[in-house]
Structure 1
Amino acid sequence: MPARSRIPARLRTRVRQLTGRRARLRWVHLVLGGALMMPFHLLTTTIVGTAGLVDGTPGSAYTQQLIALALDLPLVAVAGLLPLVRTLEGNAVRVLSDAPGDVRTEPAGTWTARRRTAAWFTLHTALGSVVAAVSLAAPPAGVLLVALPFVPDAGAGLAWMGPAEARPVLGVLAGLILLVLPLPASAAAGAWLARLAPVLLGPTPADRLALAERRAERMAERTRIARELHDSVGHALSAVTLQASAAGRVLDRDPAFAAQALAAIEDTARAAVAELDHVLGLLREEGDVKTAPTPDLSALPDLVARTRAAGADVELDLGPAGLDTAQLPGVVSREAYRVVQEALGNALRHAGAAPVALRVAVASGELEISVANPVTGRTPFTARRRNGGRGLRGAADRVAVLRGEFSAGEHDGRWHLTARIPLGEHT
């Protein structure tokens, strides 16, 4: 009993495989391949007939069709070299064939991809033509063979089946085979094409390289945006926290200082919102979205003023001749501003009200940035660097991209951050 009960279940499973939704979609996919073959076949049939390659003897029509079919395949292969064929075939495979693996839908950009697409297109149209022909011819022939033995005086049509007494049985059997023939033929051809699809329509080595490069670009862009958020918003939040703390401590004793601190919080928050709008604008794809410009060293006085308002004693040195920010390359000015912002933010977080020596000057064809402040016992640098340091790594990356030199560390009880960025390569 267990063996008998398993047989119908297997049979039902097999029938579902031959007639289920996936099988029907693959049959449609193959018939579409046969339809794509038709223009080529009409062209080659016309050429063969016009050229007189076959005579009018019996069977010449079949010979003409075979010659035309032989000429179809090279023409189909040449057409498959067109870049957009991969888009057409890839989308059809994804929707109808349910192929396992990755199937590309963008136009073929290399000759390797074009050759693979041409091979696929040739197979798809050739197998599709066979399945379409079987689907159109086999069922009517099957019905005829099943009915013919029961038609009076029709036995002559089945003379090729052998003795007259065996013809009804053989005719019905042959007819039933033809009736169901399109199902296994379509299933086998569709399954084979589905397995070949990732090989012939999948990514080539060049496609994989381009995909990896696009992913690397996206990761670099995400890293840059994260760095912008850390440098701009992180610095502002540190300043606001210290200003609010200072205002809270002296609110009763020194209302004037508290009011000044609150005003500084307002200015810092407004500047942070503007920079946040700029960073979020980088994430938007709309071309008409206007965002705040990226700050550069021309905004250095405002940055220093906000840092002083937060409680730090910043001594600014712009060199003997001062700093003409208009003469600096834009990319250097913007990245240098972020480096200074990170350095002052670290000073606020880790040194509090300790004096900070900031030097930003041009010397010997380089933009020099130097920040130094004493290391206080209030918030040890070493403990913070074990759990953080993303801002310093970001600052180092900014300088490295500009082919500059960056260093940061504790020396003789003071924290030193130094960056040198060459100007000649960015003019």
Structure 2
Amino acid sequence: MRLTAGRVARRWVHLVLGGALLMPFFLLTSVALTLLVPGADPLGRLGWQFATFGGALPLAALAALLFPLLRPLETAAVRALSAVPAERLADGPARSWAARRRSALWFTAHLLAGGIVSGMTLGVPPAAVVLLAAPFGVDVPPLGWPRAADGWAAPSAGLALLALLLGTVWGAGALLARCAPALLGPTTADRLAAAERRAAELAARNRLARELHDAVGHALSAVTLQAGAARRVLDSDPEFARQALAAIEDTTREAVAELDTVLGLLRAEHDTGPAGPAAPAPTLDALEALFDRTRAAGVEIAAELSGDRAVVPPVVSREAYRIVQEGLSNALRHAGPVPVAVRIRVEEGELALVMENPVAAAAEPGGAGRTGGGRGLRGIAERARLLGGAASAGSADGGWRLTARLPWGGAPGRGGGRAARARPGGPHPPAPGCRRGAGRPRPGGRLR
């Protein structure tokens, strides 16, 4: 890597910063030596200065061990001044003792190199100027340097001092830059914590994607069929067209409310300030309204619920609603307005759900028979898996069947722990000759 003058200058500043950080520890050590050692002169004689310098370094290492926030401060300085790639350095405080020890070693090395370079920066340039000016009549102090009578020996010594200073800066800066990733880089615990954060962020994004897909996707599929039916009978049956438009209004209103709920979840996860209360997510109690809106799109729904839905935990009830919603969306999206049978059975510690419908023969105006997708089935499988249950979907008895088992309260043998299964791709396979359901939206029907 080629070092430019600007990079050397920035590393010089970084080293001088290390010397400045050393000063509090240097002064504390000088006070301690003055009090503890008779005749000590830490700020006078050169030997005592070196002793004070050596005693200050352990204090600096101890400070780095005790204060984890020193690592992000040092990391920021290295990124800005030492040209070390940011991805090779750790973020955040040094929480583990292994990270603290590495930070303490780095801090000590930075202050050691910084103290040496800072001392040379203060002493070498004035001495070099005096030596360079010696041939022009400037008296050289009697410190053993070459005198003016020796011709150009004094200027040569001055240039050598400057070269020594620059070489020390270059070497110390390059050494610290090479050691920075090893001492300030992420530890195994840091990498594990970062992986856990990324997994949590990905899980949150997937959850929001599932909510948006199921809520908005179902509404759009229903509205597409309702609008297509209204368009076809607008002239021959105005009353039916008005009913379809009213159903579209109700469906879109519910979709906006559910979208507001999902956006409320997003704001709650990313905002730190106070936020208004979000609308509650729909549960099994909202299935009747869901079935009514779907029937308005021309879908014949035969629904059956056995057991007491009041014993179902809220989280299971919400996930079960979303699974039913996505199952109906799949029927609308890929098969059209075909009859759908929904059976929900609440057992001890588990909810079992089965949805069946015939498949479409061909696509018709209004959106039925469309191919593509697959995200909905993956979302159903993820919902069931997160509850410790299982889900499966595929062809069965000439139609399409979706099943899900959602356990709660310690029922591992009844579905928990089994891998969720969902056939990739998602669209209902075409089956010529399969009977289509009623083509007109119609109200009515209640959960039986």
Change (3 A) 1:347 1:397: same
The aligned amino acid for 1:204 is T
Q: Deviation at 1:242?
A: 0.5
Q: Which residue of 2 aligns with 1:390?
A: 375
CA contact (8 A) 1:30 1:131 kept: yes
Secondary structure of the structure 1 residue equivalent to 2:94: coil
Change (3 A) 1:158 1:222: closer
The aligned amino acid for 1:318 is L
Secondary structure of the structure 2 residue equivalent to 1:182: helix
Of 46, 50, 56, the residue aligned with 2:35 is: 50
Q: Which residue of 2 aligns with 1:407?
A: 392
The answer to which of 200-209 and 417-426 deviates more is 417-426
Task: Give yes or no for the alignment of 1:102 onto 2:88.
Answer: yes
Of 284, 294, 297, the residue aligned with 1:297 is: 284
Q: Deviation at 1:386?
A: 8.0
Q: Quote the Cα distance in structure 2 between the aligned partners of 1:158 and 1:34.
A: 26
Q: Quote the Cα distance in structure 1 between the aligned partners of 2:337 and 2:244.
A: 14
Q: Which residue of 1 aligns with 2:54?
A: 70
Q: Quote the Cα distance in structure 1 between the aligned partners of 2:187 and 2:369.
A: 47
Change (3 A) 1:136 1:317: same
TM-score, length-normalised on structure 1?
0.86
Change (3 A) 1:370 1:267: same
Secondary structure of the structure 2 residue equivalent to 1:80: helix
CA contact (8 A) 1:84 1:108 kept: yes
Unaligned runs of 5+ in 2: 412-448
Q: Quote the Cα distance in structure 2 between the aligned partners of 1:214 and 1:156.
A: 63
Q: Which residue of 1 aligns with 2:75?
A: 90
Task: Give yes or no for the alignment of 1:133 onto 2:119.
Answer: yes
> Residue by residue, what CA displacement relative to the aligned partner does 1:261-318 show, whole Å, maximum 9, x if unpaired?
1111111111111112222233322341443321111111110000100100111112
Unaligned runs of 5+ in 1: 1-13
Compare the two structures and name the one with the higher helix fraction.
Answer: 1
Q: Quote the Cα distance in structure 1 between the aligned partners of 2:343 and 2:95.
A: 52
Of 322, 325, 333, the residue aligned with 1:349 is: 333
The aligned amino acid for 1:103 is L
Q: Quote the Cα distance in structure 2 between the aligned partners of 1:316 and 1:156.
A: 104
Change (3 A) 1:351 1:387: closer
Q: Quote the Cα distance in structure 1 between the aligned partners of 2:141 and 2:330.
A: 102
Change (3 A) 1:385 1:410: farther
Q: Quote the Cα distance in structure 2 between the aligned partners of 1:23 and 1:376.
A: 72
CA contact (8 A) 2:94 2:100 kept: yes
Q: Deviation at 1:105?
A: 3.9
Secondary structure of the structure 2 residue equivalent to 1:233: helix
Q: Deviation at 1:55?
A: 7.0
Q: Which residue of 2 aligns with 1:327?
A: 311
> Residue by residue, what CA displacement relative to the aligned partner does 1:209-255 show, whole Å, maximum 9, x if unpaired?
11111111111111111111111111111100000111111111111
Q: Deviation at 1:185?
A: 2.1
Task: Give yes or no for the alignment of 1:315 onto 2:302.
Answer: yes
Q: Deviation at 1:54?
A: 5.6
The answer to which of 341-350 and 281-290 deviates more is 281-290
Secondary structure of the structure 2 residue equivalent to 1:371: strand
Secondary structure of the structure 2 residue equivalent to 1:212: helix
Change (3 A) 1:407 1:37: same
Q: Which residue of 1 aligns with 2:64?
A: 80
Secondary structure of the structure 1 residue equivalent to 2:84: coil
Change (3 A) 1:159 1:351: closer
Of 260, 283, 292, the residue aligned with 1:277 is: 260
TM-score, length-normalised on structure 2?
0.83
Q: Quote the Cα distance in structure 2 between the aligned partners of 1:227 and 1:46.
A: 65
Q: Quote the Cα distance in structure 2 between the aligned partners of 1:55 and 1:212.
A: 53
Q: State how 1:134-153 maps to structure 2 within 5 Å.
A: 134-151=120-137
Of 168, 172, 182, the residue aligned with 1:189 is: 172
The aligned amino acid for 2:69 is L
Q: Which residue of 1 aligns with 2:219?
A: 236
Q: Which residue of 2 aligns with 1:201?
A: 184
Q: Which residue of 1 aligns with 2:442?
A: none
Task: Give yes or no for the alignment of 1:173 onto 2:156.
Answer: yes
> Residue by residue, what CA displacement relative to the aligned partner does 1:181-207 show, whole Å, maximum 9, x if unpaired?
433322221222122111111111111
The answer to which of 280-289 and 198-207 deviates more is 280-289
Q: Quote the Cα distance in structure 2 between the aligned partners of 1:102 and 1:375.
A: 54
Q: Quote the Cα distance in structure 2 between the aligned partners of 1:193 and 1:353.
A: 70
Q: Which residue of 2 aligns with 1:361?
A: 345
CA contact (8 A) 2:90 2:190 kept: no
Change (3 A) 1:241 1:208: same
